[in-house]
Structures are given as structure tokens and as C-alpha cells.
Amino acid sequence: MYPVRRACLILGLFVLALVWLGPLLDAWRDSFSAHMLAHMGVVAIAAPLMAIGIPLGPTPDANRTFALPLLASLVELVIVWSWHAPAMRGLAQSSLLATAIEQATFLAAGLFLWLACLPRRGSDTTGNAAGAFALLLTSIHMTLLGALLALTPRPLYGTGEVSCFGVALSAQQDQELGGVIMLLVGAAVYLAGGLTLFARMLATPSRETG
């Protein structure tokens, strides 16, 4: 199992390097859809891979097992929705320091959530249930935000034309594409994670009694 964990950690770091050192936050930094690709790359791809690769200790006490994933989901919600407020998005777009803080908080929140939700050694039904609920809750708020961005009839992040992957997009098209990316990547990954833990929770009693 250790080689698998190490491979996941290396792959997660590689994805993180592609996001942070590539054109998404440089040449295409004015594009909201490029920002969303970077965001999803950090929280929905790099963070879970890195979390799988980080060794976890034994399961903590029952109260902490239940509360920690829910707290992590709430932290993720606050950070994600805050950075997508028009004023905060404008700050991150115009300041390299603000972009660095934004990306660092995305990574911290993503790791916190996935590390809190992933099964630990000796985890029981309560731990799997809390992790599943937290990931499904995160999928719901990602879906709501993605739908809001995709369906809002006016651009929230400027009015000028932007370029992403060499394609010229209006501000409205750029925002709609960003919302769709959040729906297709973020909401889907968290939903898959939650359903996986839910299935594990249902299987736990049969393993214990077998």
C-alpha cells in the first residue's frame, strides 16, 4: 500500500506544480474559467491525491471523528464562497500576493477537508458517515455556486473580452464556462468521494460480523 500512497502524493504535487507554475495563473490570469481550472485542480485533484499519500494516524475519539469532517466542510464553504465574491476575485486578479494567498487557502482548505474525511486506521461506521456527509455537503455547495455562476444573466467579474487557451471569450461566456467547470469537476469529485465513503459505511457491518 505504501508505494500507492507515495505515487498519489507525487502525482498530487505534480498536478499542483502544473497549476501554480503553468499559464492558468500567469498568461491567462484575467480569465475566470482559467482561474476555475486552477481552483479545481488544487482542491479536487491535487488535494485528494496528496491526502491519500499522507500517512494518517489512528482514529481519534468518536466526538472528534464526527465533528472534524463537518468543520472542514464549513471551512471549505467559507473560503470558496469568499474568494468568489466579486471584490475578492478582483483583488486576486490584480495582485500577485492576493493570488498566492488565495491559492494557499484553497490548498489548505482542500487538504483539511480530505484529510478529515478519508478513512483512518480503525475507522468505524460513524467516521465513514461523517466523512461521507461532509463530502456530499461540499458537493452541494459546489453545485450551487457553479450553477449560480453559470446561470447569472450578467457578468460578475468585469465586462471585457478575455483569452483562455487561445480562445477569445466575452466576460459572460468566460463566467459561464467557469461555472460549468466547477459543476463538472468540483461537484462531481466530491460527490464521488461522498458516495464511496457511504458505500464503505454500508459494508462495514458485514466485515465486522463476518
Q: Residue 76 to residues 6, 13, 138, 178, 195: CA-CA distances in angstroms?
A: 25, 20, 8, 18, 19
d(CA 76, CA 73): 5
pTM over 0.85: yes
3-state SS of the chain? CHHHHHHHHHHHHHHHHHHHHCHHHCCCCCCHHHHHHHHHHHHHHHHHHHHHHCCCCECCCHHHHHHHHHHHHHHHHHHHHHHCCHHHHHHHHHCHHHHHHHHHHHHHHHHHHHHHHCCCECCCHHHHHHHHHHHHHHHHHHHHHHHHHHHCCCCCCCCCCEEECCEEECHHHHHHHHHHHHHHHHHHHHHHHHHHHHHHHHHHHHHHHC
**Which pLDDT value is given to residue 167?**
85
Query: Could you state, in chain order, the average pLDDT of each consecutive group of 10 residues for the chain (210 residues)?
Result: 85 96 88 94 95 74 70 95 94 92 96 88 67 92 94 88 85 93 92 87 56
Query: Can you give the residue ranges of every domain in the chain?
Result: 2-54+63-209
Q: φ, ψ for residue 58 (rounded to 5)? A: -65, 165
**Which pLDDT value is given to residue 59?**
56
First-to-last CA distance in the chain? 23
**In the chain, % of residues over pLDDT 90:** 60
